[in-house]
Each structure stands twice: as C-alpha cells, then as structure tokens.
Amino acid sequence: MRVMYERVAGVDVHKKTVVACRMRVTGDKRIEWEKRTFGTMMVDLLGLHDWLSEWEVEQVALESTADYWKPVFNILEDGFAVILVNAKHVQKVPGRKTDASDAEWLAELMLHGLLKASFIPAKPQRELRELTRYRTTVVRERVRIINRVEKLLESTNIKLSSVVTDVLGVSARAMLTELATGATDPQALAGLAKGRLRNKTRELEAALVGTISPNQRFILARQLSHIDFLDEQIEAFNEQISQHLQQMAASAVKDDGDDGSSGPEPTETLSWTEAVDVLDTIPGVDQRTAEIILAEIGLDMSQFPTADDLASWAGFAPGNHQSGGKRYSGRTTKGNRPIGAAINQAAWAASRTQDTWLKARYHRLAARRGKKRAIVAICRSILVSIWHMLSKQQPYHDLGADFYDQRRKESKVTYLTKQLARLGFVVQLDPLPAAA
C-alpha cells in the first residue's frame, strides 16, 4: 500500500493516560515505530509534544473518549497537523484490542492516508462554541424551572396557565409575585392584568382561586428568584458572546492587513458580526440562533464542499443503507446536536411565519408526509440556504408564499377549473386588470 506521509503518530487519549505511537519511514524504505504512555497533566502533554518533535512528526491522528482530546489537541495543534478521527471509522481486527495497539493502528492508517478528519474549527471559534452551548444549557434550565412553576400551580388548584399564554409574562409574573408574598384576593390579583389581558378579568378571578400553603409559597418564591438569576446569566452570556464576535471580527481584519503580501487584494469576506446579521434575514432565525449556527459551522464553507455535505454533517440527510439490492431504513443520520436543535427550533418558527416560502413548503409537505418529516425538510432547506448565503455572502432571498402556484400556474388553473366543472359550474376566467 502506498505511503502518503513518512513521519506520523497515532495517539489514543483517555482521562488519565495518553498512549502514543510514532512511526517513520527510513532511508531504506523500512518502517520504524516506538510506543510510549504519557499522563494527561500539562507537563506530561508537553513531554508528548517534545517526544513527537524528536522524530519531526508531521501528521498526528487522535482518537479519544468523550472530550479528553481537547487538552491534547490544544498542545499539539500549533506544532503538528492534528486530526481527530471517529472511533467507528478505525475499528480494529477482533482480538487485538489494547491501548497500545490502538495507537499503532492509528499511526499505520495515518501513514497510508486512510483516516478521515473530523471538523475541528480554530481556537477562537471553539471558544465561541463553549459560550453558545453553555448559554443553551442555561436557557433550557430556565424552561425547566418555568415548567416546575406550572406544576406547582396545578398542585394548588391555581389554573393561571389556562388563561394566560405565558405564565412569566408581565401580568402573570406580577400575579405570581403577589401570590408568593401571601396575597389571596382573586380580584386584587386579577386587577394586576395589563393590556388585552384585562378583557379576561372574570376568567382570571376564577383561575386564581386556589389553596396554596406556606411551604408552596416558599417554593414559588425560590423558583421566581431562580428564574431571575437565570435571566441575569443569559443576559451576561449574550453580552460576552457579542464581545467575542466583535473581537473575532477585529482579529480577522488585523490578520488580513498584516500579511505583508504585494499581490492582488484579497476577496472581501463577511465578518463574524456581519454574518450574524446576514443569517438573521432567514425566516425563523433570530440573532441568538444565528450565533449558535456560526459557532458550529464557522464562516468558511470550504469545509463543506457542497450544501448536501453541510446538511449531512448536521444530521439532516437521508441514511444510505443498502445490501443485496435491497434498500433498508432511510432515516436521517446522526449529526451535530447543537446545530440540529437550533435549526429544528428555527424550522418550527419558520412554519408559523406569514407569506414565506418556508411556510408554504412546510404545509405542502405536512399534508402528504406528516409534520415531523416536513420539519426535517424545512431544516434541510434552511441549511442549504445558509451554505449558499455564506458562500456567496448574500442575505436570504425569499421565493414567496405563492412560489409553487406560480411555478405551474397553467396546470393549477386547469386543475381547479376541471374541479369546478365536475361540481356543476360553468367557469369563465377573466384576468385581473393590470395595476396602474
């Protein structure tokens, strides 16, 4: 088998140990290799770096359990071409499963160029990922606490959620605060309603009649305090993410201006902050969702040769399982979970927008294939749009809610005319006068 790289290494990473195998091709075309086990403390990883440098290793393949690859990657990425591989892609022959043989197998596969690298972005983008992913965790925790508030109200016979849409809205929050402090008069509590909710005063008075004990008031007060704390945390994350995006944009401009080259001017590219604004033009995608998307896929779409590759990486592509001429399940593949959750949420929001192509596509597919399959199709459409928008550096262009009708206008008119004729009507079509 042809040798692609002459100096490589395979590294099998665990929580407490790192097993490495360095391999090189000698002058007489023979292969030499050595194995060594290192710890995972900083001093041990620096020793691993020096040990690989002794043989002037160029390519390093990492295989890891969980997220233990991150400290090793951080140490090695500046001095070597490091790739992270999927363990399923490098399964070994049964009967030879040890950490040392895993490292040797990785090095041998790397020597012949048989490994496929996982997508690992640059360090600034990885830090952005950490911020957006933890913000998502805090947002989900806030939702869980709100659900517990509703559960507590149900146990006290207070049916506030049956009248108001949002139990944490301005009016409902004021009522809950008074309940937590000991108020019991339904009329006084209903009087805190604002805006259009004042039209439901009678329903509110009936919903706010319940039996709430001192312990339940204590729990409600703690839950409301917890929600306030989480709101502060989310706002702090929003500010930090905005600052980090601005720093990344400024750093990119500085790097482009400090290259010292005398060739042609580089092609203008979107900055990180501009890309957020561009993605915000997609129906269903807001600023926070755009930040999550950029944190996961970045700005450079060359990582994904086609829009289909991006959709497959995100987990919105049909599976390909065929054997013996028979095609098996075509369910979607596993993909990046953070972007999958964000795109799924954006797709549901887009399905409720007004006069958009995404809404028309959703209802067109949901009638035939069901709501869940329709949402998966909308997710894929959004991802394809994102790939083209970032590649061409252009905002979203909506095809319009009447796209499918206009695409086959004559066929649509003929079909509807025949339907009316079958119902016993004589149809005469006159076009509308042109607008002045």
Q: What would the pLDDT profile of 343-394 be if each residue is shown by its tens digit?
A: 999 999 999 999 999 999 999 999 999 999 999 999 999 999 999 999 999 9
Q: What is the pTM of this model?
A: 0.85
pLDDT, tens only, 198-253: 999 999 999 999 899 999 999 999 999 999 999 999 999 999 999 999 999 988 77
> 77-91, 130-144, 158-172: which has the highest mean pLDDT?
130-144
Q: What confidence tier does 143 reach under pLDDT thresholds 50, 70, 90?
A: very high
- pLDDT tens for each residue of 98-135: 777 888 889 989 998 888 888 999 999 999 999 999 99
Rg (CA), the chain: 29
Phi, psi of 267 (to 5 degrees): -65, 135
Strand partners, 36: 20
Task: Give the residue-averaged pLDDT of 134-150.
Answer: 96
φ, ψ of residue 342 to 5 degrees: the values are -65, -45
- What pLDDT, on the 0 to 100 scale, is given for residue 1? 73
Average pLDDT over residues 152-180: 93
**Which of 71-75, 79-83, 324-328 shows the lowest per-residue confidence on average (mean pLDDT)?**
324-328
Secondary structure letter of residue 193 according to DSSP: -
Predicted pLDDT of residue 349: 96
Domains and CATH numbers, the chain: 7-111 (3.30.420.10), 126-241 (1.10.287), 272-318+332-392 (no CATH)
Angle of the 307-314 helix axis to the 337-350 helix axis, nearest 10: 110
Q: How confident is the model at residue 70 (pLDDT cuts 50, 70, 90)?
A: very high
**Alpha helices (H) along 182-286:** 186-190, 201-207, 214-257, 272-279
Q: Which of 26, 24, 52 lies closest to 38, judged by CA?
A: 52
**8-42 per-position pLDDT tens digit:** 999 999 999 999 999 999 888 889 999 999 999 99
pLDDT reported for residue 432: 80
- Enter the tokens of residue 433: 């006068």
The DSSP annotation for 350-408 comes to: HTTSSS-HHHHHHHHHHHHH-HHHHHHHHHHHHHHHHHHHHHHT-------TTHHHHHT
Pairing of β 59-64 and β 81-84: parallel
Residue 261: per-residue pLDDT: 46
- The set of residues, in sequence order, having a beta carbon less than 8 Å from that of 206 and lying 6+ positions away, is 159, 186
88 has pLDDT over 90:
no
Structure-token match 């900083």, residue found: 42
Indicate whether 263 pLDDT > 50.
no
